[in-house]
Amino acid sequence: MVSRRDLFTGAAALVGAGVVSRVGAASLPEAVIMQSAATQVPPPPPNGRPYNPVVTLNGWSLPWRMNNGVKEFHLVAEPVVREFAPGMKANLWGYNGASPGPTIEVVEGDRVRIFVTNRLPEHTSIHWHGQPLPNGMDGVTGLTQKGIQPGKTMVYEFEAKRPGTFMYHPHADEMVQMAMGMMGFWVTHPKNPNFMKVDRDYVFLLGSYDIEPGSFVPKTSTMLDFNLFTFNSRVFPGIDTMVARQGERVRIRFGNLTMTNHPIHLHGHEFEVTGTDGGWTRPESRWPEVTVDVGVGQMRAIEFVANNPGDWAFHCHKSHHTMNAMGHDVPTMIGVSQRDAAKKISSIIPDYMAMGSTGGSMGEMEMPLPENTLPMMGGQGPFGGVEMGGMFTVMKVRKDQKRGDYSDPGWYKHPAGTLAYEWNGAPPEAVRSTSAGGQSMPGPKPAQNVEFNVRKPSGHSGH
């Protein structure tokens, strides 16, 4: 599966045979291909200015070639297969074998030359989102350049002037091309590696896709009703865990290429937004947060000290965004007694099982699904099913996690007395106020009383 082919140890051997023509091979830098969706922790830069590499969640960084002091990269826009999580793959468009494409890491002041080869069936271009660059390098088809035709290669060249957090994406048929997964991360490191230095620097892009269960290609004309919300084209339980050693300073940078905002929420820590697409925020402008909203087309860098050991949820706070493919027109069945109807339904649909009478949670129920789709919620934690999907992962903070070690330390072992426990005594008396509130703002009297039936849980009546 991994076609990484010694990416960082023997980079010279990595010329994608089918990608670069024999004639072009003499002048083009190698187009390295990656098909794995596992997080690839990059080594320190082999040449050029030093920097502290970022870790692309479920992604990788693109190697380069130094050519007379110019950093040369080669991006190949092409159809790719991306695993969203074990059990589901999608036919997307991406760069160098994956969607999103590889992260490009450069250093402030680097002269950068990027060869872009188009292996798509239609023309494309790349816009370097947030970069100050000559207008003709901005990558807007029709406005600043002609589209890169299928089979052709075009070159972008500019100086990475401003350090910060950027992304790249097409500005040609972008509705289709971005819906198909064409995007990538870009980090321009500061010249001084000690400037705002952090111990771990995670990056990823938010994406949304509409892939009908049982199908493989996103619907490119969907505007808002997406069913898969992704970090780097992965969904929980397919998103890698982030790890930190207790006390380490952690930066997480994310860019939003979906069609809605995402309130990104970290448990157990407060953080500050230290950077946007516009650059680093001034320290005096920062305030503590546990959730930061990243708008459409925006990027945020948050930083915090990982001082609380544990397994901390990290997710978008829109509850549908932490679900995988689900029916958006499914009626609420809460409180509906289905027993009689279920018997009738079973007589015509033998494999039918009544669901939803007590809520949406399917507990540990495992039922066959359409091919190439994921359960709405999935992933097993130490205490059972984690009823999440989509934009959800875990930040694991450990006392004994080694520096530079990104491997998964397993589940957190809670010290005695630090775990929620069941109360077996008598329920405590509820404290109620009799005087607060009152009739300060009485409304018009309703014409008639509406009856409500409050359903108290009474066992698994519907199952």
Least distance (Å) from another protein to the CB of residue 451? Answer: 9
Q: How far is the CB of 356 from another protein (least distance, A)?
A: 8
Write phi, then psi, for 173 (nearest 5 degrees). 40, 50
Output the smallest distance, CB 353 to another protein, in A: 8
CB of residue 340 to another protein, shortest distance in Å: 6
Task: Pick the closest to residue 96 from 112, 78, 113, 84 (CA basis).
Answer: 78
- d(CA 43, CA 61) in angstroms, rounded, equals 10
- The Cα 159–Cα 161 span in angstroms is 5
Q: DSSP character for 240?
A: P
Across 135-199, where does the E strand assignment appear?
A: 153-159, 164-169, 184-189
User: Nearest distance from residue 215's CB to another protein, in Å?
Assistant: 11
Which CB atom, from 14 or from 355, has the smaller least distance to another protein?
A: 355
- The rounded distance, in Å, linking the Cα atoms of 132 and 135 is 9
CB of 329 to another protein, least distance (A): 7
- Distance separating alpha carbons of residues 237 and 391, to the nearest angstrom: 9
290 burial (CB, 10 Å; 0-12 / 13-18 / 19+) is middle
Enumerate binding residues for another protein (CB under 8 A).
Answer: 213-214, 325-327, 329-338, 340-342, 344-345, 347-349, 351-356, 360, 362, 367-370, 373, 375-376, 452-453, 455
Q: Would you say 291 or 337 has its CB closer to another protein? A: 337
Q: Is 319 left (phi over 0), alpha (psi -120 to 50) or beta?
A: alpha
CA distance linking residue 314 with residue 196, whole number of Å: 23
Q: Which is closer to another protein, CB of 163 or CB of 462? A: 462
Nearest approach, Cβ of residue 366 and another protein (Å): 9
- For residues 143 and 330, which CB has a smaller minimum distance to another protein in the complex? 330
Q: How far is the CB of 315 from another protein (least distance, A)?
A: 20
Comparing CB distances to another protein, the nearer of 306 and 354 is: 354
Q: Between 185 and 229, whose beta carbon lies closer to another protein?
A: 229
Phi, psi dihedrals of residue 82, rounded to the nearest 5°: -120, 130
* Residue number, 135 or 332, with CB nearest to another protein: 332
In the bound state with another protein, the residue whose beta carbon lies nearer, of 196 and 333, is 333
Phi first, then psi: give them for residue 322, nearest 5 degrees.
-110, 35
The answer to whether 375 and 235 are in contact (CB under 8 A) is: no
